[in-house]
Amino acid sequence: MNTSAMAMVFLLPALAAAAPQQHPAMPAGMTHEAHLAQMEKERELKTRGAAAMGFDQETTTHHFRLSASGGGIEATTNDAADLTGREQIRTHLREIAAEFASGNFARPFMTHGEAPPGVTTMQARKDALTFRYEDLPGGGIVRISTPDAKARQAVHEFLRYQIREHATGDALTIAK
């Protein structure tokens, strides 16, 4: 085997491993068409989300957490040195806390293209809900709490929807 052929034998596997995949692996039991539709939905969600939230969805991480008193909406940068992203997250979450407290849920609608479950009840019971923003080292969190059982159920519906739509992997039940 000549030198060029030997180089190809060793380089091709390395190049193949370094090449980006066309798209994520298709989940078992899903048709190719359904997988393409899912990827398009995720792409649209990220595009609308970036416009509604004001920060890059690829360089940040969201978490939606359920709690006995309500829950939380958390976003942080993936890179601790990303100070611009951190400030964009903090600005967005401060605005979300104020908007939600006034019953304005336009941004989740802008992000998802539909009103998430629980929004109508959260708007109707906004006076029973508290939305408190707090800084986190890489971003921030909006803590949602209420003593009202119906409002809390609506908050949980809203957060579960967010967990599924954003595919965060967060728990769909209240942590004990």
24 closest CA partner among 4, 41, 48, 7: 41
pTM confidence score: 0.72
Dist. CA 72–CA 54, nearest whole Å: 19
Q: Quick one: CA dihedral 103, 108, 109, 110, positive or negative?
A: positive
Dist. CA 117–CA 64, nearest whole Å: 14
Question: How sure is the predictor about 11, in pLDDT bands with cuts at 50, 70 and 90?
Answer: very low
Better-predicted residue by pLDDT, 166 or 50: 166
- Inform me whether the pLDDT recorded for 9 exceeds 60: no
| pLDDT for the residue numbered 175 | 72
Dist. CA 25–CA 97, nearest whole Å: 36
Stretch 110-132: mean pLDDT:
92
| pLDDT for the residue numbered 54 | 61
Terminal C-alpha separation, the chain: 64
30, 38 contact by CB (below 8 A): yes
Question: How sure is the predictor about 86, in pLDDT bands with cuts at 50, 70 and 90?
Answer: very high
Q: Quick one: CA dihedral 74, 80, 85, 90, positive or negative?
A: positive
